[in-house]
Amino acid sequence: MSTVQSLGRAIELLRLISAEHTSGARLSDLVAASGLPQPTVHRLLRQMVEGGLVMQDAQRRYRLGHFAYELGLVASTHFHLRDQCAPHLGRISAETGDTAFLMVRSGADSFCLDRQSGSFPIQVLTVQVGKRRPLGIGGGGLALLSFMPREDLPGVLDRIEPHLAPYGGLTRRILLGLVEEARAQGYARITDYAVAGVTSVGVPIRDRGGAVVGAISVSAMTARMQPREEMVVQTMQREVAALQRSL
């Protein structure tokens, strides 16, 4: 096995472990999710444990280790998107009354960088800060998928396709239809597939060169979102436009 191949597999295992940061990941789960032979997974995990990137708890579940935490602290000084977005996210949640999310891409996943809740009594907290899901899930994840370079789309779909079914029976064909709809209307909308009875809308955030660097989304019960969708989207688009001018 080449060094590059080993590195790629180790990175994928780190992503899988971070996705289960709350409960920890079992060896058997990592083998099943990665599709790698158990001896290979065990060897890579042992090397990452020795390097501090991964740790094993008392239940023998794998979690990110102290060195991963140290790397995150150092890297955070160079990434200010969360801080820059915070006031815009706050205004969106205040005006809509619903929960607003900041999502970024991480490989074939979306990662929740921040969320702010509104004042409406029923808040839809579809994803926690620090949680990752396959791209295409939720309004933010769908916006990230829909507005990535079109040539990147087939490869990403190949990676996420095996993980779509648990999300309300979502399929590659359905997801492609949602992507085309998002491209046509300029924002993403997904209903039921992330959470039954919930609609989420998402708007991409672009840098000055036009590349998508994140997405903001708002989620609400479908009965609440449907008559207010235009207002919610216009509020997000206004705040995203202001944010992009400051990036």
Is the pLDDT reported for residue 4 higher than 80?
no
What are the structural domain ranges in the chain? Answer: 3-75, 79-246
Q: How confident is the model at residue 198 (pLDDT cuts 50, 70, 90)?
A: very high
Encoded tokens for 210: 């036009």
Encoded tokens for 52: 């501090």
Q: Report the relative pairing of strands 109-116 and 54-56 from DSSP bridges.
A: unpaired
Is the pLDDT reported for residue 207 higher than 70?
yes
Task: Return the pLDDT at 46.
Answer: 92
Task: Return the pLDDT at 76.
Answer: 67
Please choose, from the candidates 62, 195, 213, 73, the residue with its C-alpha nearest in 3D space to the C-alpha of residue 133.
195
Q: Buried b / exposed e across 107-141, counting CB within 10 Å, b at 16+?
A: ebbbbbbbbbebeeeebbebbeeebbbbbbbbbbb
Distances (CA, A) of 34 to 10, 29, 42, 117, 192: 10, 8, 12, 34, 27
CATH architecture of the domain 79-246 equals 2-Layer Sandwich (3.30)
Distances (CA, A) of 184 to 103, 177, 229: 21, 11, 16
Task: Return the pLDDT at 234.
Answer: 98
Encoded tokens for 209: 């060169």
**What's the angle, vertex CA 121, arms to CA 23 and CA 85, rounded to 5?**
65
Is the pLDDT reported for residue 78 higher than 60?
no
**Average pLDDT, integer, range 155-163:** 93
Taking only the tens place, the pLDDT of each residue in 35-77 is: 889 999 999 999 999 999 999 988 899 999 888 888 877 776 5
Task: Return the pLDDT at 21.
Answer: 74
Task: Return the pLDDT at 246.
Answer: 87
Taking only the tens place, the pLDDT of each residue in 98-151 is: 999 999 998 889 999 999 999 999 888 878 888 889 999 999 999 999 999 999
CATH architecture of the domain 3-75 equals Orthogonal Bundle (1.10)
Q: What is the DSSP string of 97-117?
A: SSEEEEEEEETTEEEEEEEE-
Domain 3-75 identical in fold to domain 79-246: no
